[in-house]
Structure 1
Amino acid sequence: MDWTADLNRTFFSHPGRGHRPTQRQPTPSLQPVGVSSGRIVRRRINRDSPPCQPAFVAPSLALGRQLRYQQRQPHTRRSDAAPGAAHQASFMTGFIQAFHQRASRALGQHFLTDQSALQAIARDTRAAPGRVVLEIGPGPGVLTHALLQTGARVVAIEKDRRAVEFLQTTFRDMIGDDASARLTVIEGDALAQPPHALLDGVGPQPWLAAGNLPYNIATAILTLFLTDAPHFERWTFMFQKEVAQRLVAQPNSKAYGSLSLAVAARTDPLLIRTLPPGAFAPPPKVDSAVVSFSVRDTPRLDPALLPTFERLARAAFSKRRKTIRNSLRYGLSHLTPEALDSLLARANVSPRSRAEQLPFDDFVALTLALHDLQAHADSNAAPPSD
């Protein structure tokens, strides 16, 4: 046993450096009092007794402690700090003071305060001069600030009137409705209209989008963007970690499902990074993740077949523990057993396989086969022409 390392952890732990400081126990406990024969000697003390100090400290440990203090980075004076970093820090301080105690639980507000994550979202969105970025739910504008620093024009839609007023005050020199304005703030609900309706006549297409989405409406907003995908080049959103894993899931995984297929039909998703609750104010109860969606130049499926594709995917995953045949029998109850067997045979899919085992191409084949069956049934049901 390396007793020097044990002693070092016991007596030289510092808050904020990866170790939890030694805390006094509410009941009598064993406290270290020294070193004897290569091990820590402990004795029982009362709760009110002062903490004991080590009777002996190896010189090498004391020297190591001194070297660690010497290796710390020197304090950066205000005059030596980069102007951009100082401005970002002051902006973050003002943001926390203004909104940390005012976040609305009803609106699902958890404001991102991690500067590196904010910069990563702005960078991955590909925001640049001459580009237009639609931001969903800017809140007090911390991500808005990062997007504006790239030189892009930002159109932000916010439902919380307090945040709208805060944005109008903070960015008053950039806000306007004309073509020269760097920032346009819209007070409204992002779910009330398709995303492209917010950007009609604003800059060239395809557009970009970003946002720290409220978790209670994140999937609904994503669905709107998937429908509006042809108008956008890419978007980068914050999700609950569990939802983010479903968005990028691959076959033969528990997270793989109908949402994974809907995303893969239109975009190439990529999980950028995960964030702990402490990266937000106030902190949520779950971990979060940033996901980037790059819209495919060539769709993997005819857009006219997307409704059929999504309906079939939902039916296939409605009974995850059952075979694909039994799942479709419940989800597509209008099909007869004979039609269902014909559907699987046309798509060359084994009826004993499960939905989570099927890759995207198998669902495309099932969609085409279902479309053909429906077209054939409709032609037989049509009344004969005179």
Structure 2
Amino acid sequence: MVALTSLSPAPPRPSPTPAPPRRGPPPRGRAYSPRGVILRAAAVADAMPGADDYHSTIRSLNSRGRHVPRKSLGQNYMLNSKVNEALAAAAGVEEGDVVLEIGPGTGSLTAVLLEAGATVFAVEKDKHMATLVKDRFESTERLKVIEEDITKFHIRSHFLPFMKEKYHDTKKRAKVVSNLPFNVSTEVVKLLLPMGDIFSVVVLMLQDETAARLADSSIQTPEYRPINVFVNFYSEPEYKFRVDRENFFPRPKVHGAVISFKLKNVEEYPPVGSPKSFFSMVSVNSAFNGKRKMLRKSLQHLCSSPEIEAALHKIGLPVTARPSDLKLDDFVRLHSHLVEV
């Protein structure tokens, strides 16, 4: 894993300041100040360059009446412009690109994408923030803001016409770059990765633990799940760098990380007759139903144990194989024997 501070150019480290107070009763012998967290965030931001820092974020949030970040929407705003620049660089954003941004917040990443010459299609669930971003960039014609929940938004119906309007080359694909609200990360990954016909790359800020797990497809590990098979079926994931939690306001309990998914075209997908049937077999309710169960037990709703054992033998795996023993290609070959034959 690569830490953000090792990138070039690297953002300067914040000056040492007292750690923020923990929630709950104050430590014995110390006075508790609710301003501690704010002062800490301000100190971090003061050490960082760029227009989007702690003070500008607070001004933006208060510009249309006081607006408190909503935990239910996973609203943690980026205070470090260098992180946004690294996000855009990870996606290779350049002049003429069309970019889908999810949850633009105060528009700190939006500003970087526009500066790079991209046209941005932003989807924002919070009405207040959607209005804020529209107002901030009202002078540009390279931004469209949609007030919508991305998990309920029909991308093909609304984004494709926009993309065709902006691209003269109908074969060119768009990009996704987003400081994603942590609470919708898995849903959004599942939504976007099968869209290799629309997007060439998806670059997201996720929780560090989530990003590391999605990028690592190592079998026989406790973290290996159906989502790993899904991710590698539709893309080539790469963990880019970690982003310390001090870079966000409010400060989350966990660090963030940037992950890149290079999306595959349809012709690059593993050869399965039906992706729906394939993922139904791989799902947590099927192959991974009890991770320590042997496949000859967990897949009995598809075939008898002898048939499953025979299929495992044909693909060179022991009849006692468990789901954590199978790589993507193994699942593909097993599916061809159990379902398609």
Q: Give me the TM-score of the superposition, normalised by structure 1.
A: 0.68
Once residues 19 and 188 of structure 1 are traced to their aligned partners in structure 2, the CA distance between those partners, rounded to angstroms, is 39
Once residues 269 and 92 of structure 2 are traced to their aligned partners in structure 1, the CA distance between those partners, rounded to angstroms, is 23
Pairwise CA distance, 1:334: 4.0
8 Å contact kept, 1:127–1:147: yes
Q: Which residue of 1 aligns with 2:205?
A: 238
8 Å contact kept, 2:302–2:338: no
Q: Which residue of 2 aligns with 1:209?
A: 176
Q: Which residue of 1 aligns with 2:275?
A: 306
8 Å contact kept, 1:136–1:211: yes
Pairwise CA distance, 1:125: 1.5
8 Å contact kept, 1:207–1:232: yes
8 Å contact kept, 2:202–2:262: yes
8 Å contact kept, 1:136–1:212: yes
Say whether residues 1:346 and 2:318 are aligned partners.
no
SS in 2 for 1:356: helix
SS in 2 for 1:290: strand
Equivalent residues in 2 for 1:272-287, closer than 5 Å: 272-287=240-255
Among candidates 72, 76, 90, match of residue 110 of structure 1: 76
Count of aligned pairs: 288
Q: Which residue of 1 aligns with 2:43?
A: none
Per-residue CA distance 1:259-289 (angstroms, 9 max, x = gap) = 0110101110001111222121111122221
8 Å contact kept, 1:239–1:289: yes
Say whether residues 1:191 and 2:151 are aligned partners.
yes
Greater shift in the superposed pair: 303-312 or 282-291 = 303-312
Q: Give me the TM-score of the superposition, normalised by structure 2.
A: 0.77
Once residues 317 and 258 of structure 2 are traced to their aligned partners in structure 1, the CA distance between those partners, rounded to angstroms, is 34
Q: Which residue of 2 aligns with 1:122?
A: 88
Greater shift in the superposed pair: 363-372 or 142-151 = 363-372
CA 117–153 in structure 1, closer or farther in 2 if over 3 Å, else same? same
Say whether residues 1:324 and 2:291 are aligned partners.
no
8 Å contact kept, 2:237–2:259: yes
Pairwise CA distance, 1:194: 3.4
Q: Which residue of 1 aligns with 2:133?
A: 167
Q: Which residue of 1 aligns with 2:105?
A: 139
Equivalent residues in 2 for 1:73-84, closer than 5 Å: none
CA 226–357 in structure 1, closer or farther in 2 if over 3 Å, else same? same
Pairwise CA distance, 1:151: 0.4
Aligned AA for 1:123? A
Per-residue CA distance 1:71-125 (angstroms, 9 max, x = gap) = xxxxxxxxxxxxxx97x33676322333396211221111122222211111112
CA 303–94 in structure 1, closer or farther in 2 if over 3 Å, else same? farther
Equivalent residues in 2 for 1:1-386, closer than 5 Å: 16-17=15-16, 88-89=50-51, 93-99=55-61, 102-174=68-140, 181-201=141-161, 202=163, 203-204=166-167, 205-249=172-216, 250-297=218-265, 298-302=267-271, 304-314=273-283, 315-329=286-300, 333-373=301-341
Aligned AA for 1:325? R
Unaligned runs of 5+ in 1: 1-14, 28-84, 175-180, 374-386
Once residues 126 and 143 of structure 2 are traced to their aligned partners in structure 1, the CA distance between those partners, rounded to angstroms, is 17
CA 93–326 in structure 1, closer or farther in 2 if over 3 Å, else same? same
CA 164–303 in structure 1, closer or farther in 2 if over 3 Å, else same? farther
8 Å contact kept, 1:265–1:299: no
Aligned AA for 2:116? T
SS in 2 for 1:259: helix
How large is the Cα RMSD of the aligned pairs? 2.6
> Runs in 1 of length 4+ with deviation above 6 angstroms?
none
Indicate the percent of aligned positions where both proteins have the same amino acid.
27
Once residues 194 and 110 of structure 1 are traced to their aligned partners in structure 2, the CA distance between those partners, rounded to angstroms, is 25
Which one has the largest radius of gyration?
Answer: 1
Q: Which residue of 1 aligns with 2:32?
A: none
Once residues 282 and 52 of structure 2 are traced to their aligned partners in structure 1, the CA distance between those partners, rounded to angstroms, is 48
Higher relative contact order (CA 8 A, sep 6+): 2
Unaligned runs of 5+ in 2: 1-13, 20-26, 30-47
